[in-house]
Amino acid sequence: MSELQTNLWSYLWDLVDGGIDDVLDYLQGEMGITGLSVATSYPEIDQLRPRDAIKPRIFRSAGGVQFQPQSAHYHSTRMRPVVAAWLKKSNPLTAVAEACAKRHLRLRAWHVCCDSPVTASRYAGNTVKNVFGDSSRRWLCPANPDVREYLRATVEDLSEHYPFETIELDCLSFPSAKRGMAPLQTGIDLGEMGTWLTDLCFCESCRQSATREGIDVEAASQSAQATLRQLFDTGETTQLPLHEFIADQPALQTYVSWRCEQVTSLVHTIKQACRCRLVVHRKGTSLREATDFTAIAQQCDGLLTSCSPLEGEMLESQIGSTCQQTGDINRVELGLTACSPACPNYDTLVRAMSEAARQGIRRIGIANYGLLPAPRLAWIRQATRYAQREYS
């Protein structure tokens, strides 16, 4: 592929409110993008939209899937997609797909998987639970059989009924304090270890599945509870690094490895149902979110790594480590943002895109159409031109 692909992330409602044809004409003609990555499932959002022509100025949504599901795909699971309320009975994704096809724009799905408060509210029994049995109000458990079948079915539905070139899986993992868990109000410092132990999922599905596979879940649970109770009783955290704490806890070590296997196998299951390219967003760690990206990379078509802020050393490090995990630079995609403060000026975006192209990146995603004022949208065109020269 000689062409550098530049894909602009966008929310569906911004395309609808701006007029689908008008927006796509502008994005292709004035900005020179080659693809559009549309959110097909997204959590709750309160979005400030900076351009006068787009109304309402603040868009609010409780979240949900951003398309009308085909019921035939969900017969084998007890979960059903929760359609975002703003859609009502409409399905503008069809119009977006047709408009992209007419302009030869690549269409991609940006699918947020486990982070879904509206789905978690409807299916509370399928959410992650901490070691004390407290349920998450937003995060579905990736080890839960119904969640796994539901996610497989939604990707099958999307890839069968829309002409997606690629589906991006985002938030396909367990949650952590850094990703997906609301900060707790507490009067003590939990520290790295206490925060990690509080985040661990010990829901019924995790307990049952792990036990069937020979994992001593009860020992792992007791270890986590005992450590946390001591912390709660004394109010004093430990400065022991997390990896050193884990090294002395064999039951927790085994449980952590099992969690990673659940996420990796879920990617494999979804890939088998997907009729287009499947890319996984590279976020989290094997310890916290149970994302072993070296293993995950073998089950999908590529990893998408994001870099923020857009600094040279960080960019080079992100690309290099992702390439090691995939084994091939052609299976590495890069996500950048033109939003402030991560992207403070035009030169920063130009340097980041040009450096990525020099390193051999073929696909670059840029965030986010609905969040950017007109001048920053204009930066993307120039940055794309410079990057294309480097790639060529």
Is 360 a member of any domain?
no
Residue 182 pLDDT > 80: no
| CATH number of the domain to which 151 belongs | 3.20.20.80
C-alpha to C-alpha distance for 245 and 256, rounded to whole angstroms: 13
Residue 168's contacts (CB-CB under 8 Å, 6 or more residues apart) are: 37, 108, 109, 110, 111, 279, 280, 281, 304, 365
Is 389 a member of any domain?
no
Is 57 a member of any domain?
yes
Which tens digits make up the pLDDT trace of 99-112? 999 999 999 999 99
Is 245 a member of any domain?
no
Q: What is the pLDDT of residue 339?
A: 94
Q: What is the pLDDT of residue 181?
A: 62
Residue 244 pLDDT > 70: yes
Residue 326 pLDDT > 80: yes
Q: What is the pLDDT of residue 152?
A: 98
Note down the domain range covering 53.
5-184+260-300
Residue 179 pLDDT > 90: no
Q: What is the pLDDT of residue 32?
A: 86
pLDDT band at 241 (very low <50, low <70, confident <90, very high): confident
Residue 177 pLDDT > 90: no
Residue 1 pLDDT > 70: no
Q: What is the pLDDT of residue 79?
A: 97
Task: State the CB neighbour count (10 A cutoff) for residue 57.
Answer: 11
Which tens digits make up the pLDDT trace of 41-58? 999 999 999 998 899 999
Which tens digits make up the pLDDT trace of 121-134? 999 999 999 999 99
Which tens digits make up the pLDDT trace of 83-95? 999 999 999 999 9
Q: What is the pLDDT of residue 36?
A: 98
Residue 70 pLDDT > 80: yes
Is 281 a member of any domain?
yes
Higher pLDDT, 239 or 138: 138
Structurally, the chain folds into a number of domains equal to: 1
SS3 sequence, 291-312?
Answer: CCHHHHHHHCCEEEEECCCCCH
Q: What is the pLDDT of residue 228?
A: 94
Mean pLDDT across the stretch 298-317? Answer: 88
Residue 329 pLDDT > 80: yes
Is 53 a member of any domain?
yes
Is 347 a member of any domain?
no
Which tens digits make up the pLDDT trace of 154-163? 999 999 999 9
Residue 345's contacts (CB-CB under 8 Å, 6 or more residues apart) are: none
SS3 sequence, the chain?
Answer: CCCCEEEEEECHHHHHHHCHHHHHHHHHHCCCCCEEEEEEEECCEEEECCCCCCCCCEEEECCEECCCCCHHHHCCCCCCCCECHHHCCCCHHHHHHHHHHHHCCEEEEEEECCECHHHHHHCHHHEEECCCCCEEEEEECCCCHHHHHHHHHHHHHHHHHCCCCEEEEECCCCCECCCECCCCCCCCCCHHHHHHHHHCCCCHHHHHHHHHCCCCHHHHHHHHHHHHHHHHHHCCCCCCCHHHHHHCCHHHHHHHHHHHHHHHHHHHHHHHHCCCEEEEEECCCCCCCCCCHHHHHHHCCEEEEECCCCCHHHHHHHHHHHHHHHCCHHHEEEEEECCCCCCCCHHHHHHHHHHHHHCCCCEEEEECHHHCCHHHHHHHHHHHHHHHHHHC
Residue 63 pLDDT > 60: yes
Mean pLDDT across the stretch 21-49? Answer: 95
Mean pLDDT across the stretch 298-320? Answer: 89
Residue 183 pLDDT > 80: no
Q: What is the pLDDT of residue 178?
A: 67
Is 112 a member of any domain?
yes
Residue type, 319: I
Residue type, 65: V
Q: What is the pLDDT of residue 309?
A: 72
pLDDT band at 364 (very low <50, low <70, confident <90, very high): very high
Q: What is the pLDDT of residue 237?
A: 81
pLDDT band at 15 (very low <50, low <70, confident <90, very high): very high
